Structure 1
Amino acid sequence: MQRFVDGAIADFSPVSVSFSANGHGARGVNAYKFDLHFYSLIDDEQATFVVSDNKIELLIRKLEPAWWPRLVATPQKPHWLKVDFDRWRTEDDMEQEKDEAPRDVRQDYEKEYNDLQRQELGYVKEKTKKVYLMFYNLAMFVGYLYVVSVMGVLYYRDGYNSITKAYSHVGNAFKFVQLLQYLEVMHPLFGYTKGSPLVPFFQVSGRNFILFLMIEWEPRMHAKPVVFYVFLIWSLVELIRYVICPSSPRSHRTNILFYLCSYPFYLSQLLGREVGLLTWLRYTIWIPLYPMGIVCEGIIVLRNIPYIEETKRFTVEMPNKLNITFDMVLFLKLYLLLLILPGTYLVMSHMSKLRAKKLGRGRGKRRQLHAD
């Protein structure tokens, strides 16, 4: 989990932290950074840091309240790492240090192991899960970039007339990438990503409800200008997640996958890159785009109500074999009510909390943190 506060970036993982910032030291203004690989797992979801005028404090908690014989994974601690004895805690039974379980040196000495692979193989072997996620994110980036590019070129060529033709030109491509997003529901189930599968399921299903039932099934909606706008807003939201970073790749990385996939935001997270601007955009651009997207979705549902009243599409009336009834018009009215009132509040409040967690709460809301 990457945190970004006042130009400083801390990238927390369950086993490490990577910190970088620009500051004024003994040699003037310089870029400072360090990496720590911890002895055991930490709670990277709750880890955070605060920047004050004269110091930077990181609050990192252990995932399990167990005794650690040392802070870092390797027996040799960095020469610059000092002990704050005012906050030092001791273990009553020091015999636990003698019973330390065997450790994987490939993880404790990850940098040295990767350097050895580069020397012997010419590249670093990546885990299958990581390679899959890189290609998945690259495919999604290309898909949404295609949609935005086609819509932009057509608008530049034909002007306002292209707005009514957006669905005929990019509708199939948009349906493909939206269906592909259901893979993000599967990722948490298989342990590829963290979090609950319910959140991406409801997000993807909500969009697909609008795309397939409200637009695809009603030909009269295809030429509506609101379809162009909702495609544009959805695509921009997703492109920010996969947007290309202008920074150049690190010179010491020789893996070809790095050159292919190192720029987009999620790929930068997979590869441990520190891109503060992308992080800020990822958790800020939703402020104008989400309300506009909700308004466009509401307009699409509202415009479909008279069409469904006319065609009785998706409506189940009595009598029938199942002896049930379903009024699609009533369902859309309830959906519209829930989308505008509690739906907007829940989405915006969730994103606001997530933004505060990722980017920090500002100087006025900083808390004095203590080492754990």
Structure 2
Amino acid sequence: MQTLTPHVHWAQRHAELYLRVELSDAKNLEISLQENNTLQFRAQGHGAKGDNEYEFSLEFLQPVRPEISHKSTQRLVDIKIRKQEERWWDRLTLQERKPLFLAPDFDRWLDESDAEMELQAKEEEKINRISVESRVRKDPYLGLKKGYLFMYNLVQFLGFSWIFVNMTVRLFILGQDSFYDTFHTTADMMYFCQMMAVLEVINPLLGLVKTGFFPSMIQVAGRNVILFVIFGSLEDMQNKPVVFFVFYLWSTIEIFRYPFYMLACMGTDWKLLTWLRYSLWIPLYPLGVLAEAVAVIQSLPIFDETRLFSFPLPAMLGSSLSFSYTLQLYLILMFLGLFINFRHLYKQRRRRYRSRKRKVQ
């Protein structure tokens, strides 16, 4: 079999040399650096003269490091070599006359001034990154803040998981009968979780999280109105099936949201959990608001009948103003809040996947 020389293209940076060998489907690769600073290449593959054994040698202008990395693809062989000293070479080989098989790699080619600018940009990026990291490290309470947020999200995850598992097990065992005693079996834990959720309104104000104050306030306040005012104050509402659907939708959302934030505190990103966190809310959040609206509508005649929370009026205007009128106004505000929060969550989702796409590119 005839031995031939492949086409080789080269480029350089201050610290590295790049060789691109035009040899497809290369097999039996042998790449080594000899004691006289000469690179030896031998392989079998498809080159300019068809399938043959190809080889070449290059004696470099300056010393290089013995570690040589290479990557073989179906089209070519890429070789990267580190220079012993980071400096610009006038040419690649010790001999002044360039070998016939060697040519510049214009896809990677830079002149010395362009390479200086690239090196300077990398140095500036490194300095900026170190500066940012040093500013972050200057916060003496960073570990304490992350520990607090991790524990908060862990406690909420465990609480909502208990509610979700309890309701799911009772649903499988009792069927539809479990709808009517949901409040009595899970209300204590739901009270605890929703009182803890008030911290989600405080955390943005303290700068502990980057989420907005207003969307958090809308969600926490809306849920607490349903839990404490509609369900908690009216015994007639506590046995209705709508309690099951409200609690189940709330807990389903939260058993994915809180673990996502727990992992974020540790700088960890689990792709499946991230997708669930930024996708499940799209159907579940509107369904949750719809279930809350049903609960409000069902409570209106009860508030009219019991006159609970009614506003006293002067004698000339009547005895009192039913709280149900306030809840009717609240229904309008509820769907306005749905629009605001849905828009906020959609922006979060788009921003999250846009930044991830940039990282991949």
TM-score (normalizing by structure 2)? 0.59
CA displacement 1:125-173 (0-9 Å, x = unmatched): 9811111111111101100001011111211221211111111000111
Q: SS of 2:153's equivalent? A: helix
Q: Is the 8 A contact 1:280 1:359 kept in 2?
A: no
**Partner in structure 1 of residue 225 of structure 2:** 209
Q: Which runs of 5+ in 1 are unaligned?
A: 1-24, 29-66, 78-100, 109-124, 243-263
Residue 202 of structure 1 and its aligned partner are, at CA, apart by: 2.1
Q: CA, structure 1 residues 361+68, in 2 after alignment: closer, same or farther (shift >3 Å)?
A: closer
Rounded to whole Å, the distance in 1 between the matches of 2:144 and 2:208 is 10
1:231 to 225, 247, 265: 247
For 1:362 and 1:106, locate their aligned partners in 2 and report how far apart those are by CA, in whole Å: 22
> Following the alignment from structure 1 to structure 2, what is the Cα–Cα distance between the partners of residues 191 and 106?
14
TM-superposed CA distance for 1:197, in Å, is: 2.5
CA distance in 2, matches of 1:338, 1:201: 13
Aligned partner letter, 2:149: L
The Cα RMSD (Å) is 3.5
- 1:183-232 superposed Cα distances (whole Å, 9 cap, x missing partner): 11121222221233332122101100011101110001111111001000
- Give the match for residue 343 of structure 2: 349
* CA distance in 1: counterparts of 2:214 and 2:304, whole angstroms: 32
Deviation at 1:347, TM superposition (A): 2.6
- SS for the counterpart of 1:273 is coil
Indicate yes or no: 2:125 matched with 1:71.
Answer: yes
1:1-372 to 2 correspondence within 5 Å? 26=71, 70-73=124-127, 104=134, 107=137, 127-242=143-258, 264-319=259-314, 327-340=322-335, 342-360=336-354
Aligned twin of 2:8: none
- Tell whether the 8 Å contact from 1:148 to 1:232 is kept in structure 2 after alignment: yes
Distance 1:131 1:344, change over 3 A: closer
Do the aligned partners of 2:304 and 2:322 also contact (CA within 8 Å) in 1? Answer: no
**Per-residue deviation at 1:26?**
4.3
* Contact 1:188-1:197 within 8 A present in 2 as well: yes
CA contact (8 A) 1:309 1:329 kept: yes
Cα distance in 2 for residues equivalent to 1:336 and 1:104: 49
- Do the aligned partners of 2:215 and 2:341 also contact (CA within 8 Å) in 1? no
Paired-residue identity, %: 33
The residue type equivalent to 2:125 in the other structure is L
Higher relative contact order, chain-length normalized (CA < 8 Å, sep 6+): 1
Range 295-304 or range 347-356, more displaced: 347-356
Distance change (3 Å), C-alpha of 1:105 and 1:179:
closer
* 1:91-146 Cα shifts (integer Å, max 9, x gaps): xxxxxxxxxx9x959959xxxxxxxxxxxxxxxx9811111111111101100001
Which amino acid counterpart does residue 230 of structure 1 have in structure 2?
V
Q: Could you list the per-position Cα deviations for residues 312-347 of structure 1 after superposition, in whole angstroms to 9, with x for gaps in the alignment?
A: 111112239xx997542211112113323x333323
> Given the superposition, is the C-alpha separation of residues 104 and 335 from structure 1 closer, same or farther in structure 2, using an over 3 Å criterion?
closer
Q: Decide whether aligned partners of structure 1 residues 156 and 190 sit closer, same or farther in structure 2, where only a CA change above 3 A counts.
A: same
In 2 relative to 1, CA 159–362 (structure 1 residues): closer, same or farther, beyond 3 Å?
A: same
**Contact in 2 for aligned 1:188/1:194 (Cα 8 Å):** yes
Return the structure number with greater strand share: 2
> Which blocks of at least 5 consecutive residues in structure 2 are unaligned?
1-69, 74-120
One-letter amino acid matched to 1:156:
F
Q: What TM-score do the two structures reach when normalised by structure 1?
A: 0.57
Task: Tell me the amino acid that sits aligned with residue 310 of structure 2.
Answer: T
Instruction: Tell me the amino acid that sits aligned with residue 238 of structure 1.
Output: E
Q: 1:181–1:204: 8 Å Cα contact kept in structure 2? A: yes
Q: Tell me the alpha carbon deviations over residues 1-30 of structure 1, each in whole angstroms, 9 at most, x when there is no partner.
A: xxxxxxxxxxxxxxxxxxxxxxxx9468xx
1:4-60 C-alpha deviation (Å, 9 max, x unpaired): xxxxxxxxxxxxxxxxxxxxx9468xxxxxxxxxxxxxxxxxxxxxxxxxxxxxxxx
Native 8 Å contact 2:197 2:220 kept in 1: yes
Amino acid at match of 1:339: M
Q: What code does the residue aligned with 1:181 have?
A: A
What is the CA–CA distance in structure 2 between the aligned matches of 1:268 and 1:191, rounded to whole Å? 19
Question: For the Cα contact (< 8 Å) 1:143–1:173, is it kept in 2?
Answer: yes
Residues 242 and 295 in structure 2, CA contact (< 8 A), matched pair in contact too: yes
Cα distance between partner residues in 2 of 1:353 and 1:232? 26
Asked if the contact 1:230–1:293 (Cα under 8 Å) also holds between the matched residues in 2, the reply is yes
Q: Within 2, Cα distance between the matches of 1:72 and 1:314?
A: 62
